[in-house]
């Protein structure tokens, strides 16, 4: 995407948002600043003219100058006020995107979020919005406005100088164009090489994030990794300094060129003016201050142009980000639709980049049935779960719930019919009620929250808290937030499942972090609370499933190689028997056990 | 005045801090500022001379004047540009060194402290504040602006002073007028400075409030929006609405705080503009008066105006810079707080490790409580022979992980002591004591550099040892097929973009423990994510190598204790029992309960006997 179209994209979004307000402020600024700049350049000339008039009394002279001065400076203050209004607009423009950013991401297709491309676009689009007012889309607008304002001032001054004599104006203009040409060389180098610097700082940010994830601190200390990290840090520093050296060398040449041209230009214009015989002192004074102001403005103009260019670099990813389709959840009233919880999976397959993660999956789950999915890591269990809850769209085949293909379902419907607890689910630093109900505080059914907390055995714990279920967990948003133990976290996550009262409940490795007693209690709880509902559990713990009423799906290499009850599988599936006996051997049979 | 004193004291502190990282930069900046400030004044003086020459009708020397003055200005600019190049590079280097010092402070801080919430917020503040401040380049830009403005003001004052004072001795009336003008200026400026100070203070308060809000917004961004793994749960649980609800609330607060800050900044600018224009007008009128009285040539209007313009812009730059600097100091405070003091404290441990053929670690009445938390381990006394295989079991919250962290020296006991072969472990350096252990944590970390470095945890590797470890851990099988083999970098920051699977990562973690030289291996829930077959293989292997490498593992897979020579059973922060599986089954009802909660599920199984194994 060309820089020009990027610029147009951002500017049109801004103009569309503020329309009249923006136009009024911009025009006001241009007008006010043109008047100011003319006034301030003419003030010394005015003084000269007044002094040279023979009959004017001193008091009169002073009065006129006072009035003129106060007038000019009053305009300046009004100018600052208008700039403030504009800054507020540009800030809002950028900052209003912040909640929009998250809104989009929450609505993206899961496959996009899981992909490397998606993550990269998120990382880089975030730079366009989150890095403060001097970087990103806010800077583009602010500097564009600076461009327009200084442009007006330049035109006014050049015009006034031109009235005096055309040549100095022409020289100033010409030399500044030359300075711009120098600048362009620098900009092009910068654009070509910015990506390189980004890659270096991106790797550096990785180290920062890694160190902030404090659990890494154990490995770093116990394995004495300081020197290793130090070497990587030093390598990064050297790369950054080298990049800076190249850039600074180039900037030096450009700077030298610009400054010399500047000084020569000043000298030349002055000499030419003086060569014009009939130029008055007043005009000369005006010309000198006008040239100084012009050079300043040209400098600002160039800087603004460069800054706009540098920030347009972010817009590519920003546009890509905004263009990705996302699902806008209406979030409106969810009509409670119930079904029986029957699942039919036919010829289900899913592939990414030509690799099939799952293929040829067929099975049927009766309403209220208990299903277990077992198999080694990488067999496709998690992928299957994501397909079952509609996060992934199958490459071929279908998942049907109560006879309807779920590909047609809206996310809201899916959420009503299925409750999915993933292995890495987290508790948010909100209130207990929000974490259990997953609703805003106004929509929480507090009676139901308390009921399910009782069911998972947290009633006494919550009763002991000062604010009950309105107590905050974690202290990011509230200093009085409480810390939960691992076991309590698991209970709250399960309470979430119970609160939802979905026909179909999927639990992915729910007990891998639980101790034996808690695990036993967990399965008892599942039996008791989800007895009528279809429940699918992904697990390595085969023991709990060795009952007749559980249908076990054995997965290997991306497909279901066998399904049936524990007893039937032991008799008919070699792989299942191997899994079972490996696990069993730890408990039964004394000390004879070698890996088979 | 007291305010001013504390401000200056803090300023000196910040300057000293920066000095640690960029000594040469101060001199460079000073030179550049002087050159940059002087150059425009040279031009102004030259122009005044020219004007006066024209007025006195002596045009022949004009070209000479132009040449002298403008070349001098050009040389000043050229000098400044060249020095600027050196400054830019050096300040980037110094900035990166400071950043690295911050990161290394995080790395080296005591682990127990690292885990506290207090330290974590310190970490985040140090990183975020440093980033917002702009670092050392921002400091030197502010320093440059300040010195440049100061020099401009001094030189300008010199020039103007001359213009103002001229004729003071000639007439009493004039002297009075001059003194009155100066008084007027000082009064006016003083009043405006008071207003300005008020604005500055509320600016800093607003900024602190804003930083606090920023931290909350950061939580949303880092932990929710940008943590990709969580988004599927957010979708499936409909958490979008509660999240956006809270997010928007914080966002609104930040938006209005920012608005207040923008208005505050703008008011400061307006006040400085008023200050500048007030002084300019008074001086202007004074000079006009003098010119009318014939005391000054008209050309001096140029000097006045030129210098005044330079000076007033310098004053407003200086004041704005001071405000920026105050903000900068606030931010740097967090960074400097986290760094260790320049002179490190005398290291506590200096004894050498008393290694023997049979080593013993002993807990003597050890109790442990987290900072401002309840005691989680109570009066543990335990003698651990570092031989064979030991299993550490107990329910969640029984204190297993805490015990292991104390064993490793990551935590220090609140009461009691831990002895290694009879000597208190606090007498050894941490580095020495850590070198005893080979550990695989449940939340092990695989880093984004090469496989070889991940395994060896060092810059270079002992090739033979590395090869052995890679072969025995099964890594060689897949690593040899990669283009750069073990030198392949993990992660998206290199060309290869190699992402190992969960299983491969675990192999690397295990290989790392194997590669390390140590006398005792510790495994925390090593089989948590493994399927039954792999799990059995792992525990068997642990048993197999336990002759050479005694080990301890924590597990919930109560069946795994069958492979252990010794089992330590923990309950509610105490040791509930120690023994072999059969002895514990006999003696401890609690152990029986734990055992049967899992074993029963496998016990009644007639099918297996018939099908054979």
What is the greatest pairwise CA distance in chain B?
A: 127
Which residues of chain B are within 8 Å of residue A212 when distances are taken between CB atoms?
Answer: 106, 120, 123-124, 127
Nearest Cβ partner for B219 among A73, A95, A429: A429
- For the range A193-197, what are the long-range contacts, defined as Cβ-Cβ under 8 Å and sequence gap of 24 or more? A193/A243, A193/A246, A193/A247, A194/A310, A194/A313, A196/A243, A197/A240, A197/A243
Which residues of chain B are within 8 Å of residue A475 when distances are taken between CB atoms?
Answer: 117
Q: B496 and B539, same structural domain?
A: no
The token duo for B549 is: 């490498």
> A343: which strand partners?
A365, A401
Locate the chain B residue with the closest alpha carbon to A284: B51
Domain extent for B490:
446-517
The DSSP call for residue A482 is: B
Q: What's the fold here for domain A359-424+503-515+530-591?
A: Rossmann fold (3.40.50)
For chain B, list residues with pLDDT below 50. 606-613
Locate the chain A residue with the closest alpha carbon to B82: A252
Q: B228 and B117, same structural domain?
A: yes
Locate the chain B residue with the closest alpha carbon to A199: B493
- Give the closest-approach CA distance of A323 to chain B in angstroms: 18
Distances (CA, A) of A237 to B253, B419, B601: 38, 42, 58
Q: B528 and B509, same structural domain?
A: no
CB-CB contact of B135 with B58 (8 Å): no
Mean pLDDT (10-residue bins), chain A, 596 residues: 83 91 93 91 85 80 88 92 93 91 89 80 78 78 91 90 82 85 85 85 87 89 94 95 95 89 84 77 83 81 83 84 81 62 91 87 92 87 91 91 87 88 87 93 93 91 90 84 83 92 91 81 88 90 81 92 91 91 78 41
- Give the closest-approach CA distance of B232 to chain A in angstroms: 7
Question: Which value, to the nearest 10 degrees, does the dihedral of the CA atoms of residues B58, B59, B63, B66 take?
Answer: 70
The token duo for A146 is: 């600076």
Q: Is residue B212 part of a domain?
A: yes
Number of Cβ pairs < 8 A linking chain A and chain B: 473
Q: Which of A425, A448, A452, A583 is nearest to A525 (CA)?
A: A452
Q: Which of B239, B568, B56 is nearest to A439 (CA)?
A: B239
Per-residue pLDDT tens for B327-375? 888 888 888 888 887 666 655 667 788 888 889 999 999 999 988 788 9
Q: How far apart are the first and last CA of chain A?
A: 59
Nearest Cβ partner for B234 among A95, A106, A414: A106
Of B481, B500, B517, the residue that ends a domain is B517
Q: B398 and B365, same structural domain?
A: yes
Which residues of chain A are within 8 Å of residue B515 when distances are taken between CB atoms?
Answer: none
pLDDT at A594: 40
pLDDT at A595: 38
- Give the closest-approach CA distance of B439 to chain A in angstroms: 8
Question: Are A516 and B502 within 8 A, CB to CB?
Answer: no
pLDDT at B63: 83
Q: Which of A495, A486, A516 is nearest to A448 (CA)?
A: A495
Q: B484 and B535, same structural domain?
A: no
Nearest Cβ partner for B444 among A219, A248, A434: A219
ipTM confidence? 0.86
Question: Are B270 and A81 within 8 A, CB to CB?
Answer: yes
Give me the phi and psi of A267, to 5 degrees please.
-60, -50
Q: B303 and B452, same structural domain?
A: no
Nearest Cβ partner for B70 among A207, A220, A267: A267
Which residues of chain A are within 8 Å of residue B457 when distances are taken between CB atoms?
Answer: 219, 223-225, 228
Question: Are B114 and A108 within 8 A, CB to CB?
Answer: no
Contacts of B95 (CB under 8 A, 6+ apart): B21, B135, B136, B137
Question: Are A222 and B220 within 8 A, CB to CB?
Answer: no
Q: B81 and B121, same structural domain?
A: yes
pLDDT at B382: 93
For chain B, how many residues are written?
613
Nearest Cβ partner for A84 among B51, B251, B266: B266
At B530, which CATH number?
A: 3.40.50.300
pLDDT at A231: 95
CB-CB contact of B386 with B550 (8 Å): yes
CB-CB contact of B169 with B175 (8 Å): yes
Give me the phi and psi of A278, to 5 degrees please.
-100, 45
Distance from C-alpha of B399 to C-alpha of B572, rounded to nearest angstrom: 7
Question: Are B306 and A244 within 8 A, CB to CB?
Answer: no
Interstrand relation of A396-401 and A343-352 (parallel, antiparallel or unpaired): antiparallel
Give me the phi and psi of A140, to 5 degrees please.
-60, -50
Which residues of chain B are within 8 Å of residue A51 when distances are taken between CB atoms?
Answer: 288, 291-292, 298
Q: How many CB atoms lie within 10 A of CB B59?
A: 13
Question: Are A51 and B51 within 8 A, CB to CB?
Answer: no
For chain A, how many residues are written?
596
Q: B233 and B202, same structural domain?
A: yes
- Give the closest-approach CA distance of B434 to chain A in angstroms: 5
Angle at A173 between CA A167 and CA A177, to 5 degrees: 140
- Give the closest-approach CA distance of B553 to chain A in angstroms: 14
- Give the closest-approach CA distance of B4 to chain A in angstroms: 28
Which residues of chain B are within 8 Å of residue A558 when distances are taken between CB atoms?
Answer: none
Q: B190 and B103, same structural domain?
A: yes
For an interface test with A, which of B288, B400, B517 has the most A Cβ atoms less than 10 Å from its Cβ?
B288
Nearest Cβ partner for A214 among B115, B251, B447: B115
Q: Which of B404, B412, B353 is nearest to B521 (CA)?
A: B404
For an interface test with B, which of A115, A223, A224 has the most B Cβ atoms less than 10 Å from its Cβ?
A223
Which residues of chain B are within 8 Å of residue A207 when distances are taken between CB atoms?
Answer: 103
Q: Is residue B37 part of a domain?
A: yes
Q: B200 and B273, same structural domain?
A: yes
> B366: which strand partners?
B380
Interstrand relation of B566-571 and B574-579 (parallel, antiparallel or unpaired): antiparallel
Which residues of chain A are within 8 Å of residue B407 when distances are taken between CB atoms?
Answer: none
Which residues of chain B are within 8 Å of residue A262 when distances are taken between CB atoms?
Answer: 77
Question: Are B273 and A80 within 8 A, CB to CB?
Answer: yes
Angle at B389 between CA B386 and CA B393, to 5 degrees: 105
- Give the closest-approach CA distance of A374 to chain B in angstroms: 8
The token duo for A37 is: 């700049």
Question: Are A211 and B106 within 8 A, CB to CB?
Answer: yes
Q: B257 and B114, same structural domain?
A: yes
Nearest Cβ partner for A61 among B270, B292, B493: B292
- For the range A327-333, what are the long-range contacts, defined as Cβ-Cβ under 8 Å and sequence gap of 24 or more? A327/A107, A327/A108, A327/A109, A327/A411, A328/A103, A328/A107, A329/A106, A329/A107, A329/A411, A329/A412, A329/B238, A329/B240, A329/B241, A330/A410, A330/A412, A331/A412, A331/B240, A331/B241
Distance from C-alpha of A90 to C-alpha of A93, rounded to nearest angstrom: 5
Nearest Cβ partner for A122 among B226, B284, B398: B226
Distance from C-alpha of A4 to C-alpha of A317, rounded to nearest angstrom: 15
Ranges of beta strands (E only) in B355-398 are: 360-369, 375-385, 389-393
Locate the chain A residue with the closest alpha carbon to B108: A221
pLDDT at B576: 92
pLDDT at A133: 66
pLDDT at A433: 94
Distance from C-alpha of A473 to C-alpha of A435, rounded to nearest angstrom: 9
Give me the phi and psi of B365, to 5 degrees please.
50, 50
Q: Is residue B441 part of a domain?
A: no
Distances (CA, A) of B548 to B362, B542, B543, B544: 21, 10, 10, 9
- Give the closest-approach CA distance of A12 to chain B in angstroms: 23
Q: Which of B131, B118, B143, B144 is nearest to B331 (CA)?
A: B131
What is the greatest pairwise CA distance in chain A?
A: 124
Q: Is residue B6 part of a domain?
A: no
The token duo for A163 is: 């009235």
Q: Tell me the DSSP string of B507-522.
A: HHHHHHHHHS--SEEE
> B438: which strand partners?
B521
Of B294, B315, B338, the residue that ends a domain is B338
Nearest Cβ partner for B81 among A120, A255, A438: A255
Q: Tell me the DSSP string of B393-430.
A: E--TTSSHHHHHHHHHTSS--SEEEEEETTEEGGGS-H
Structural domain tally of chain B? Answer: 3
Q: What is the pTM of this model?
A: 0.82
At B15, which CATH number?
A: 1.20.1560.10
pLDDT at B314: 82
Q: B431 and B390, same structural domain?
A: yes
Q: How many CA atoms lie within 13 A of B334 on its CB side?
A: 23
């Amino acid at each position: 995407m060309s820089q020009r179209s990027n610029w147009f994209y951002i500017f049109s979004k801004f103009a569309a948002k503020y329309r009249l307000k923006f136009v009024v402020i911009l025009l006001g600024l241009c007008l006010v600043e043109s008047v100011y700049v003319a006034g301030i350049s003419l003030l010394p000339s005015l003084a000269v003219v007044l002094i040279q008039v023979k009959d004017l009394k001193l008091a009169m002279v002073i009065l006129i100058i006072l009035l003129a001065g106060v007038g000019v400076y009053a305009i300046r203050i009004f100018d600052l006020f208008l700039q403030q209004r504009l800054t507020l607009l540009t800030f809002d423009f950028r900052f209003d995107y912040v909640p929009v950013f998250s809104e989009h991401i929450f609505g993206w297709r899961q496959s996009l979020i899981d992909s490397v491309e998606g993550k990269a676009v998120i990382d880089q689009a975030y730079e366009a919005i989150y890095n403060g007012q001097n970087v990103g889309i806010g800077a583009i607008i602010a500097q564009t406005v600076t461009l327009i304002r200084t442009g007006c001032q330049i035109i006014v001054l050049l015009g006034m100088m031109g009235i005096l004599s055309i040549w100095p104006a022409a020289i100033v203009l010409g030399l500044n164009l030359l300075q711009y040409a120098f600048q362009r060389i620098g900009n092009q180098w910068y654009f070509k090489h910015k990506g390189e610097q980004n890659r270096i700082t991106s790797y550096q940010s990785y180290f920062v994030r890694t160190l902030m994830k404090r659990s890494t601190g154990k490995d770093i200390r116990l394995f004495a990794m300081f020197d290793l990290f130090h070497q990587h840090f030093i390598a990064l520093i050297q790369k950054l300094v080298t990049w800076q050296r190249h850039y600074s060398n180039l900037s030096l040449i450009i700077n030298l060129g610009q400054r010399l041209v500047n000084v020569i230009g000043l000298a030349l214009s002055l000499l030419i003016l003086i060569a014009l015989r009939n130029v008055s002192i007043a005009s000369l004074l005006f010309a000198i201050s006008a040239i100084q102001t012009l050079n300043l403005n040209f400098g600002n103009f160039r800087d603004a142009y460069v800054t706009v260019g540098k920030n347009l670099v972010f817009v590519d990813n920003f546009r890509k980000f905004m263009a990705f389709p996302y699902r806008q959840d209406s979030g409106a009233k969810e009509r409670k639709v119930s079904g029986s919880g029957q699942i039919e999976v036919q010829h289900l397959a899913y592939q990414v980049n030509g690799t099939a993660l799952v293929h040829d999956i067929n099975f049927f789950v009766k309403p209220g049935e208990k299903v277990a999915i077992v198999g080694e890591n990488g067999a496709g269990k998690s992928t299957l779960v994501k397909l079952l809850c509609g996060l992934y769209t199958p490459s071929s085949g279908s998942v049907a719930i109560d006879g309807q293909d779920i590909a047609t379902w809206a996310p809201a419907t899916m959420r009503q019919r299925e409750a999915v607890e993933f292995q890495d689910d987290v508790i948010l630093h909100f209130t207990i009620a929000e974490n259990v109900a997953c609703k805003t505080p106004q929509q929480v059914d507090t009676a139901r929250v308390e009921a399910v907390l009782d069911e998972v055995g947290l009633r006494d714990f919550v009763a002991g808290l000062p604010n009950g279920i309105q107590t905050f967990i974690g202290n990011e948003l509230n200093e009085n937030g409480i810390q939960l133990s691992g076991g309590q976290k698991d209970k709250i996550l399960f309470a979430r499942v119970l609160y939802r009262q979905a026909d179909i409940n999927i639990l992915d490795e729910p007990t891998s972090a639980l101790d034996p007693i808690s695990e036993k209690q967990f399965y008892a709880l599942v039996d008791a609370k989800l007895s009528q509902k279809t429940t699918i559990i992904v697990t390595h713990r085969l023991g709990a499933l060795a009952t007749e009423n559980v249908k076990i799906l054995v997965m290997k290499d991306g497909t279901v190689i066998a399904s049936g009850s524990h007893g039937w599988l032991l008799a008919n599936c070699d792989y299942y028997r191997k899994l079972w006996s490996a696990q069993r051997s730890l408990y039964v049979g004394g000390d004879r056990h070698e890996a088979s | 005045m007291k305010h001013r004193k504390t401000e200056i004291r803090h300023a000196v502190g910040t300057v000293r801090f920066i000095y640690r990282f960029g000594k040469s930069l101060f001199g460079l900046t000073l030179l550049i500022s002087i050159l940059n400030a002087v150059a425009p004044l040279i031009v102004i003086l030259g122009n005044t001379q020219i004007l006066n020459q024209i007025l006195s009708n002596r045009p022949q020397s004009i070209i000479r004047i132009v040449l002298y003055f403008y070349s001098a200005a050009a040389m000043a600019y050229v000098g400044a540009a060249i020095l600027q190049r050196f400054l830019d590079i050096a300040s980037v280097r110094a900035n990166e060194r400071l950043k690295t010092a911050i990161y290394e402070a995080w790395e080296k801080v005591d682990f127990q402290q690292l885990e506290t919430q207090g330290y974590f917020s310190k970490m985040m503040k140090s990183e975020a504040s440093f980033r917002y401040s702009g670092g050392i380049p921002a400091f030197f830009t502010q320093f440059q602006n300040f010195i440049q403005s100061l020099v401009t003001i001094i030189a300008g004052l010199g020039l103007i002073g001359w213009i103002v004072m001229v004729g003071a001795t000639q007439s009493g009336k004039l002297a009075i007028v001059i003194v009155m003008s100066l008084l007027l200026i000082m009064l006016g400026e003083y009043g405006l400075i008071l207003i300005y100070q008020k604005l500055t203070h509320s600016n800093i308060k607003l900024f602190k409030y804003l930083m606090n809000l920023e931290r909350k917004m950061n939580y949303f961004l880092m932990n929710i929006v940008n943590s990709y793994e969580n988004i599927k749960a957010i979708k499936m649980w409909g958490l979008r609405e509660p999240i956006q609800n809270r997010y928007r609330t914080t966002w609104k607060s930040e938006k209005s705080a920012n608005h207040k800050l923008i208005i505050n900044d703008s008011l400061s600018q307006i006040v400085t503009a008023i200050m500048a224009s007030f002084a300019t007008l008074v001086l202007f009128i004074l000079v006009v008066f003098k010119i009318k009285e014939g005391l000054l040539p008209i050309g001096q209007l140029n000097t006045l105006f030129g210098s005044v313009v330079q000076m007033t812009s310098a004053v407003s730059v200086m004041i704005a810079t001071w405000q920026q600097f105050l903000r900068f100091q606030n931010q740097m405070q967090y960074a400097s707080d986290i760094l260790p003091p320049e002179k490190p404290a005398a290291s506590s441990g200096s004894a050498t490790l008393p290694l023997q053929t049979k080593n013993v670690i002993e807990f003597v009445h050890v109790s442990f409580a987290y900072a401002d938390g309840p005691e989680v381990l109570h009066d543990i006394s335990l003698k651990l022979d570092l031989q064979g295989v030991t299993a550490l079991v107990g329910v969640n919250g029984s204190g297993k992980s805490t015990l292991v962290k104390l064993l490793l020296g990551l935590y220090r006991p609140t009461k009691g002591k831990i002895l290694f072969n009879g000597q208190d472990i606090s007498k050894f350096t941490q580095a020495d004591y850590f070198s005893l252990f080979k550990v695989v944590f449940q939340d092990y970390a695989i880093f984004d550099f090469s496989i070889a470095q991940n395994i060896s945890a060092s810059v270079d590797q002992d090739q033979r040892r590395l090869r052995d470890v890679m072969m025995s851990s099964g890594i060689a099988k897949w690593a040899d097929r990669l283009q750069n083999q073990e030198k392949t970098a993990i992660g998206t920051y290199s060309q290869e973009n190699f992402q190992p699977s969960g299983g491969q990562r675990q192999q690397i973690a295990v290989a790392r423990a194997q590669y390390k030289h140590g006398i005792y291996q510790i495994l925390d829930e090593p089989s948590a994510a493994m399927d039954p077959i792999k799990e059995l293989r792992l525990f068997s292997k642990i048993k197999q190598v336990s002759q050479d490498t005694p080990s301890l593992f924590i597990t919930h897979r109560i069946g795994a204790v069958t492979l252990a020579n010794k089992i330590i059973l923990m309950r509610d922060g105490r040791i509930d029992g120690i023994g072999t599986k059969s002895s514990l089954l006999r003696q401890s009802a609690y152990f029986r309960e734990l055992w049967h909660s899992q074993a029963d599920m496998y016990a009644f199984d007639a099918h297996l006997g018939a099908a054979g194994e």
